[in-house]
């Protein structure tokens, strides 16, 4: 579409911009009508809900242009150089920079976003309230981007014209399907199968209760470490993040290094498990899994590894064992885990007193927190990447999502029992009690994490928006002994799932953990590639030797129930 490139006469320039905008709206109206099969039927076009919505948006934006025309003409002589932040791909299309109409849209939006952000920064409120205001302001700013609306996104209009409105029709179908699902589809789900190309490391389910299945993986080495490894994944996601497929699996790697691996597969909450509490998660989860692994391997102790919330659960289970004087752990590994919840990042802003009290009143004594609610909450932390990008691509452009294993896993959410969720949020995000000796009673024991006296390996991710790395660093002062802290590049997931064979990203190491996080990082040495090899070497330094690999899984008391990955991980909460 044609529009002038240099505003010699501001009034004429704005008038031409309005004409260009009206032309864009007209093209969008025609494309939408064609997609609806309305053609030239003017009366039906005017009463169509989709066209009516577009008209409302058009009218609102035209009023916006009139405001600019009457109040800010004089300012047009000054060039605006406001640009999107690093990594912001919403305005990557050339039209946002080369067409004055879209450039002014972009600049207006970015200027308004900047002003709103600065207004919140200057609000006379306490620090936590300011952070909450910033979070909700960002949600509003992200939602109001002109790239999110069909009539003001040049890519959407161009695609509709090029496809003769087929893209709009496909987008409507995608929207209807997602309304039926109750969630945004971000990945081509037909390309993945749990137990097929995901969660396919060979193994057997050798124990189950109402909450977990315990998988023992098949050794691939002639000898295995005598001390087995028990993995506790997060209970708010499916475990196969740690077993995404051949060549991209932490489980596969651990087995290949000669570790005898056991892994918990959490069951998504269903009505008959809606009564389960935090204590049930400790008792039926890691405490039971540790005992089963010890009995099968014929040892007194196990190595234990927890990831994210699984790490918090494992830490509390270790506190219970310490309170009981039970020396069942040889080492503890915590991956992107918080135990001290003083600084929880953006997610902590969503869990305030009102949120917890409401949940306690509705599901605190029984009920279910649906997995799709948890998934949406995490999505809002990076709304441009995890929500609006897919709204635009799927609903406005009619595109089919890509096949991406991490996004499939992220969409395969898990529901939680209400009592468990309420205890967790109150005692961590809200009141931060578990770090303080004697502040919580778990499984009938007063918990003091400082009594957990086993070697500790801590892994954090430098760009983690769920577990800030400096919060993960604080754990070294709360529990364990001889702590080793390693910082991975990237975010919460990509920093952890980084197979050595791919030679991607890097990690930082500093043996001196006596100072604070900034002091540690200041002297840390960067190493290229994955941290997995460092962890494997550390674990083997705490080895008790090797034994011949078992010929079969389980034992006489714990027989094979079914092949891995088992039934629980295949249950859908969405």
Q: Tell me if 448 is assigned to some domain.
A: yes
Sequence-distant (≥ 6) Cβ neighbours of residue 277 within 8 angstroms? 417, 419, 420, 423
Q: Which of 331, 287, 560 is nearest to 444 (CA)?
A: 287
Sequence-distant (≥ 6) Cβ neighbours of residue 274 within 8 angstroms? 363, 366, 367, 368, 417, 418
Q: Tell me if 198 is assigned to some domain.
A: no
Question: Quick check: helix, strand or coil at residue 211?
Answer: coil
- Residues 434, 538, single domain; the answer is yes
- Residues 151, 222, single domain; the answer is no
- Residues 400, 449, single domain; the answer is no
Q: Tell me if 40 is assigned to some domain.
A: yes
- Residues 551, 442, single domain; the answer is yes
Under the phi-then-psi rule, with left for phi > 0, alpha for psi from -120 to 50, and beta for the rest, what region is 308?
Answer: left
Give the model's pLDDT for residue 75: 46
SS3 for 402-444 is: CCCHHHHHHHCECCEEHHHHHHHHHHHHHCCCCCCCCCCEECC
Give the dihedral of Cα atoms 140, 143, 149, 155; nearest 10 deg.
130
What the block records as the tokens of 369 is 């927190």
What's CA 113's distance to the chain center, in Å? Answer: 25
- Residues 126, 238, single domain; the answer is no
Q: Are 396 and 150 in contact (CB under 8 A)?
A: yes
573: number of Cβ within 10 Å: 19
Q: Tell me if 117 is assigned to some domain.
A: yes
Give the model's pLDDT for residue 70: 45
DSSP 8-state assignment for residue 348: H
Q: Is the peptide bond before 207 cis (omega within 30 degrees of 0)?
A: no
Give the model's pLDDT for residue 30: 61
DSSP 8-state assignment for residue 324: T
Sequence-distant (≥ 6) Cβ neighbours of residue 255 within 8 angstroms? 201, 217, 218, 219, 220, 221, 261
Rounded Cα–Cα distance for residues 525 and 512 (Å): 11
DSSP 8-state assignment for residue 279: H
* CA distance readout (Å), 125 to 76, 120, 221: 36, 9, 60
- Residues 175, 294, single domain; the answer is no
- Residues 187, 210, single domain; the answer is no
Question: Quick check: helix, strand or coil at residue 332?
Answer: strand
Q: Tell me if 104 is assigned to some domain.
A: yes
Q: Along the 574 residues of the chain, how does pLDDT read in single tens digits?
A: 444 444 444 445 445 555 555 555 555 556 555 555 555 555 555 555 545 555 555 555 555 555 454 444 444 444 456 778 777 888 999 999 888 888 888 888 888 888 888 888 888 888 778 887 888 888 888 888 999 988 899 999 999 999 988 998 998 998 898 888 877 888 888 889 999 999 999 999 999 999 999 999 999 999 999 999 999 999 989 999 999 999 999 999 999 999 999 999 999 999 999 999 999 999 999 999 999 999 999 999 999 999 999 999 999 999 999 999 999 999 999 999 999 999 988 777 778 888 899 999 999 999 999 887 877 777 776 777 778 888 888 888 988 888 888 888 888 889 999 999 999 999 999 999 999 999 999 999 999 999 999 999 999 999 998 999 999 999 999 999 999 999 999 999 999 999 998 888 999 999 999 999 999 999 999 999 999 999 999 999 999 999 999 999 999 999 999 999 999 999 987 5
- Identify the domain containing residue 283 by its residue range: 203-368+415-570
- Residues 245, 378, single domain; the answer is no
* CA distance readout (Å), 329 to 303, 318, 428, 441, 454: 6, 8, 24, 21, 7
Tell me the CATH number at 529.
3.40.50.1820
Q: Tell me if 5 is assigned to some domain.
A: no
- Residues 53, 98, single domain; the answer is yes
Active-site residues, by number, are 308
Q: Which of 287, 173, 239, 195 is nearest to 413 (CA)?
A: 239
> 130, exposed or middle or buried, with CB in 10 Å at 0-12, 13-18, 19+?
middle
Give the model's pLDDT for residue 132: 79
Q: Tell me if 4 is assigned to some domain.
A: no
- Residues 311, 172, single domain; the answer is no
What is the number of domains present in the chain? Answer: 3
What the block records as the tokens of 355 is 């949120």
Rg (CA), the chain: 27
Sequence-distant (≥ 6) Cβ neighbours of residue 136 within 8 angstroms? none
- Residues 61, 97, single domain; the answer is yes
- Residues 356, 253, single domain; the answer is yes
Q: Tell me if 410 is assigned to some domain.
A: no
What's CA 200's distance to the chain center, in Å? Answer: 22
């Amino acid at each position: 579409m044609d529009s002038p490139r240099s505003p010699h006469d501001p009034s004429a320039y704005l008038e031409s911009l309005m004409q260009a905008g009206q032309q864009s709206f007209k093209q969008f109206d025609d494309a939408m009508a064609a997609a609806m099969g309305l053609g030239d039927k003017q009366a039906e076009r005017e009463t169509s809900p989709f066209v009516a919505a577009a008209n409302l948006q058009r009218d609102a934006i035209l009023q916006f242009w009139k405001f600019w025309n009457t109040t800010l003409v004089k300012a047009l002589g000054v060039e605006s150089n406001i640009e999107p932040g690093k990594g912001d791909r919403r305005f990557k299309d050339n039209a946002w920079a080369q067409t004055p109409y879209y450039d002014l849209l972009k600049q207006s939006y970015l200027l308004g976003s900047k002003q709103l952000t600065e207004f919140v920064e200057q609000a006379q409120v306490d620090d936590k309230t300011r952070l909450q205001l910033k979070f909700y302001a960002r949600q509003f700013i992200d939602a109001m981007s002109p790239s999110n609306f069909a009539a003001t996104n040049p890519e959407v209009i161009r695609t509709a014209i090029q496809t003769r409105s087929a893209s709009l029709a496909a987008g409507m179908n995608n929207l209807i399907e997602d309304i039926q699902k109750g969630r945004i589809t971000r990945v081509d789900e037909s390309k993945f199968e749990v137990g097929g190309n995901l969660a396919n490391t060979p193994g057997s389910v050798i124990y189950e209760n109402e909450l977990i299945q315990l998988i023992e993986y098949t050794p691939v080495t002639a000898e295995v470490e005598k001390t087995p490894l028990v993995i506790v994944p997060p209970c708010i996601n499916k475990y196969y993040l740690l077993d995404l497929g051949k060549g991209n699996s932490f489980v596969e790697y651990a087995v290949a290094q000669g570790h005898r691996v056991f892994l918990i597969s959490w069951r998504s909450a269903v009505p008959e498990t809606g009564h389960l509490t935090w204590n049930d998660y400790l008792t039926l989860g890691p405490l039971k899994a540790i005992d089963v692994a010890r009995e099968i391997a014929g040892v007194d102790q196990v190595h234990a590894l927890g990831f994210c919330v699984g790490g918090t659960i494992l830490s509390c289970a270790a506190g219970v064992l310490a309170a009981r004087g039970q020396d069942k752990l040889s080492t503890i590994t915590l991956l992107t885990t918080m135990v001290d919840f003083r600084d929880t990042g953006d997610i902590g802003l969503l869990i305030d007193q009102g949120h917890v009290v409401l949940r306690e009143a509705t599901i605190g004594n029984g009920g279910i927190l649906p997995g799709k609610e948890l998934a949406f909450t995490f999505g809002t932390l990076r709304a441009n990447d995890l929500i609006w990008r897919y709204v635009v691509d799927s609903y406005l452009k009619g595109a089919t999502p890509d096949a991406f294993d991490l996004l499939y896993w992220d969409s395969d959410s898990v529901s939680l029992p209400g009592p468990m969720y309420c205890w967790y949020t109150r005692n961590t995000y809200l009141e931060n009690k578990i770090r303080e000796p004697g502040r919580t009673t778990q499984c009938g024991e007063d918990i003091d994490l400082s009594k957990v006296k086993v070697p500790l390996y801590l892994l954090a991710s430098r760009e983690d928006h769920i577990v800030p790395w400096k919060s993960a660093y604080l754990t070294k002062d709360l529990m364990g002994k001889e702590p080793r802290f390693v910082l991975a590049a990237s975010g919460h997931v990509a920093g952890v799932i980084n197979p050595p064979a791919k030679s991607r990203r890097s990690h930082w190491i500093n043996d001196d953990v006596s100072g604070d996080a900034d002091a540690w990082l200041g002297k840390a040495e960067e190493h290229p590639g994955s941290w997995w090899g460092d962890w494997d070497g550390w674990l083997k330094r705490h080895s008790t030797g090797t034994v011949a690999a078992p010929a079969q899984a389980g034992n006489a008391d714990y027989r094979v129930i079914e092949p891995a990955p088992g039934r629980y991980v295949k249950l859908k909460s969405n």
